[in-house]
Amino acid sequence: MIMSELYGSLVFDDRVMSRRLPKETYKELKRCCANDLPLSLDVANIIANEMKEWAVERGVTHFTHWFQPMTGITAEKHDSFITPTKSGGVIMELSGKELIKGEPDASSFPSGGLRSTFEARGYTAWDPTSFAFIKDGILCIPTAFCSYNGDALDKKTPLLRSMEAVNRQGLRLLKLFGRKTERLNATVGSEQEYFLVDTATFEKRKDLFYTGRTLFGARPPKGQELDDHYFGAIKPKVVKYMKELDEELWKLGILAKTKHNEVAPAQHEFAPIFTTVNVASDQNQLTMEIMKKVAAKHGMTCILHEKPFDGVNGSGKHNNWSLSTNFGHNLFEPGRSPEDNAQFLLILAAVIAAVDEHQDLLRISVSSAANDHRLGANEAPPAIISMYLGDELTGILQAIADGRTYSRRANCEVKLGVHVLPKFAMDSSDRNRTSPFAFTGNKFEFRMPGSAQSIAGVNMVLNTIMAEQLGKFADELENADDLKAGITAIIKRVMTEHGRIIFNGNNYSAEWVEEAKKRGLLNLASTIDALPYLTSEKNIALFESQNVLTKRELISREEIYIENYCRLLNIEAMTMLDMATMEILPAVLEYKGALVKTAKNSIAVGINAETEIETANTLAELLNAARQQIAELKAAVDKAHSIGIHIECGRCYRDEVLAAMNNLRHTCDKLELQTAKNFWPFPNYGDLLFSVH
Ligand code: ADP
Ligand code: MG
């Protein structure tokens, strides 16, 4: 198929709708989407019918409301278009009602107490701003998912609400600059890291199979120290995989753009071209699913876990975010005229204030048991939130705040609205790769999200905290006599109160941890440290004032996150116990037995058996230690079980279960290095990391 036919061939997108829908219907749909208005049933009926026709022409017989519950992955329940006719036959139908609203039996999705089982109904509602698509022969209709009372039970609903919030507040501010913007959208491009491992090898590891990460494994002789994998030539098998992945994504209208090898062996990266945030979020969920599916076709397993292997880099998902008007004007693009620059600097000030005031929320938005292994491990930014602006921009803002002339480069005066700002070069060579939140020329790159996480959460937070600041600035400037003086005053205040969040140095250094402490920045090292902040008074006020999440919804979310954390660590601990007791110990005992037998035989014929005896002794000692540590891990898990799932239970998992897991791993990894390879019960790190040829 040629590219022009391939691209978007499985999507009921704007091109298809504008071609196939009656003009009036199409116009009405666009109007409703642009203004966050609900569609009338009449209009929905027409769209539903055309959508069905389009799908049926492509061999589709079923549809599903595709949604994103709090599990972090997507859910679907398939219904056929089939409707019986009076004459005993069938016709294929999709009504407007079926398009707009669904009612999956949703009692088993996490709701954090929002839905008791006797009122298990959950509703899915079509999100017409995200396109319907065909996946595995099913028409998928992107939907939001909420409870009978309208409480959000998913990741999409709050994201859509946050888009409305940032649009609402942003337009107020843009109006002050005389702009006739109709819509302000957040745009996002997310870079996705992943590992590819040979499936046969992968499946021999229970830990990878059940938890997505290795719970045991000594370091291989070669890891990533030579940096020979990063941007290296891609192996033929992987090339084939990437090609097919690109094609599958293009069919779904996903602008797959960049692909390369990453730092760790077997690690790769994929990036699409950015788009509106809710579409980017849907597309990233789809991308993750398709990455796994395509890998399976090539005999490989795609690992999206944040830290599948100890000792080599884990995987992240850089979230590139900016705000753009319906005219395609990117608010983070430094402008050419003085007015543009004043607006740009004001928007920048809003980001500075937002990030500083809500460090906790940004930290929470990337928290998970899995991502805890990455953050602060010298491969990813630390758990401390700060932002990078570069010396030039920081200097300009500081000069305005101090009422001085900015004269770092050319002798340029920075006076808002009077002179053109110096053209600041943001070339990639002086980019700071260690910053969690870096300005990269015309967007911010948030580098903390984990590879397996949905990007809905981080962008919901970014949009909401930004909406709050834009609203505050608008309140102030709408009443100001002199706009320029008002802007200068805001920049000055932001730099004084929030300038501490700007850090252009090395975020991986120990000095930064100290320095951040002095500046009073939060350092929430683990998920369990971060989660309780979600329902602080400040955050409830923020989300309620911007109509993004209610107090009830926030409380339920906190509960769900804690539950997820505990459940995940429980599965990991149980998997470890299984592997240690049923695989590792028996295997090493067998090897020890073989050594003893050889020793006996050697001695019987007068041959020195020192090596056999020494090795067997070492193994015996390590085995005893492992046995003891297995008992300790069991005790820690029992204790956690006895607590009941709330934050205390989370603390027990983090402080006691995780510690016991680490001890057991440490001993077993030593055992691995003392045991003959053919006795070891599963593939080792070398086998896994270099399994794809
Ligand atoms: P890197 O050097 O970090 O790989 P790139 O310039 O390749 O950065 O961009 C990474 C991602 O940022 C891509 O997905 C790209 O589409 C996205 N991006 C570029 N401009 C914007 C923007 N204005 N808003 C959101 N994302 C953007
Ligand atoms: Mg990047």
Pocket test for ligand 1, best of 193, 274, 322 (most atoms within 8 A of CB): 274
Chain mean pLDDT for the chain: 91
Q: How remote is the CA of residue 549 from the centroid of ligand 1, in Å?
A: 29
Residue 276: CB within 6 Å of ligand 1?
no
Residue 517 has pLDDT above 90, yes or no: yes
- The predicted-structure confidence for 89-146, as pLDDT tens digits, reads as follows 988 899 999 998 888 766 677 777 776 655 667 888 899 889 999 999 999 999 998 8
Give the separation between CA 456 and CA 157, rounded to whole angstroms.
9
Residue 220 has pLDDT above 60, yes or no: yes
Residue 187: CB within 6 Å of ligand 1?
yes
Q: In the chain, which segments carry CATH 1.20.120.1560?
A: 563-689
Q: How remote is the CA of residue 430 from the centroid of ligand 1, in Å?
A: 17
Helix (H, G, I), strand (E, B) or coil at 139: strand
Domain over 192-316 is classified CATH 3.30.590.10: yes
- With 0.85 as the threshold, say if the pTM is over it: yes
The pLDDT confidence band at residue 431, using thresholds 50, 70 and 90, is: low
Q: At what angle do helices 585-604 and 610-643 cross, to 10 degrees?
A: 160
Give the separation between CA 573 and CA 665, rounded to whole angstroms.
11
Residue 459: CB within 6 Å of ligand 1?
no
Instruction: Read off the pLDDT of each residue in 340-350 and give the average, rounded to a whole number.
Output: 90
Q: Which pLDDT score is estimated for 219?
A: 87
136: phi > 0 → left, psi -120 to 50 → alpha, else beta; which? left
Instruction: Report the 3 state secondary structure along 209-226.
Output: HHHCCCCCCCCCCCCCCC
Residues 6+ apart with CB under 8 A from 295: 196, 199, 241, 301, 302
Residue 322: CB within 6 Å of ligand 1?
yes
Give backbone dihedrals phi and psi of 260, rounded to 5 degrees, phi first: -160, 170
Q: Which pLDDT score is estimated for 527?
A: 96
Q: 398 is written with which tokens? A: 């500081």
Domain over 3-153 is classified CATH 3.10.20.70: yes
Residue 635 has pLDDT above 60, yes or no: yes
Helix ranges (DSSP H) in 125-215:
156-176, 199-202, 206-211
Q: Which pLDDT score is estimated for 339?
A: 60
Residue 189: CB within 6 Å of ligand 1?
yes
Q: Which pLDDT score is estimated for 415?
A: 47
Residue 316: CB within 6 Å of ligand 1?
no
Q: Which pLDDT score is estimated for 407?
A: 62
Judged by its nearest atom, the ligand closest to the C-alpha of residue 441 is 1
Q: At what angle do helices 551-579 and 610-643 cross, to 10 degrees?
A: 150
Query: Worst-scoring range by mean pLDDT, 26-30, 71-75, 201-205, 437-441?
Result: 71-75
Measured from the Cα of 442, ligand 1's closest atom is 23
Residue 154: CB within 6 Å of ligand 1?
no
Share of the chain above pLDDT 90, in %: 72
Query: Worst-scoring range by mean pLDDT, 409-413, 421-425, 586-590?
Result: 409-413
Fold type of domain 563-689:
Four Helix Bundle (Hemerythrin (Met), subunit A) (1.20.120)
Judged by its nearest atom, the ligand closest to the C-alpha of residue 188 is 1
Residue 419 has pLDDT above 50, yes or no: no
- The predicted-structure confidence for 453-500, as pLDDT tens digits, reads as follows 999 999 999 999 999 999 999 999 999 999 888 999 999 999 999 999
Q: Which pLDDT score is estimated for 583?
A: 98
Residue 169: CB within 6 Å of ligand 1?
no
547: phi > 0 → left, psi -120 to 50 → alpha, else beta; which? left
Residue 188: CB within 6 Å of ligand 1?
yes
Q: In the chain, which segments carry CATH 3.30.590.10?
A: 192-316
Query: Worst-scoring range by mean pLDDT, 60-74, 257-271, 400-414, 527-541?
Result: 400-414
Radius of gyration of the chain (CA): 28
Judged by its nearest atom, the ligand closest to the C-alpha of residue 317 is 2
Measured from the Cα of 274, ligand 1's closest atom is 16
Q: Which pLDDT score is estimated for 426?
A: 47
Decide which of 428 and 206 is more confident: 206
Residues 6+ apart with CB under 8 A from 276: 129, 185, 186, 187, 188
Residue 416 has pLDDT above 80, yes or no: no
Instruction: Report the 3 state secondary structure along 484-532.
Output: HHHHHHHHHHHHHHHHHHECCCCCCCHHHHHHHHHHCCCECCCHHHHHH
In DSSP terms, 256 is beta-bridged to 272
Nearest CA to ligand 1 atom 19: 274
Judged by its nearest atom, the ligand closest to the C-alpha of residue 446 is 2
Give the separation between CA 67 and CA 342, rounded to whole angstroms.
41
Instruction: Read off the pLDDT of each residue in 362-382 and give the average, rounded to a whole number.
Output: 90
Residue 243 has pLDDT above 50, yes or no: yes
The length of the chain is 693
Q: Which pLDDT score is estimated for 293?
A: 97
Give the separation between CA 395 and CA 278, rounded to whole angstroms.
35
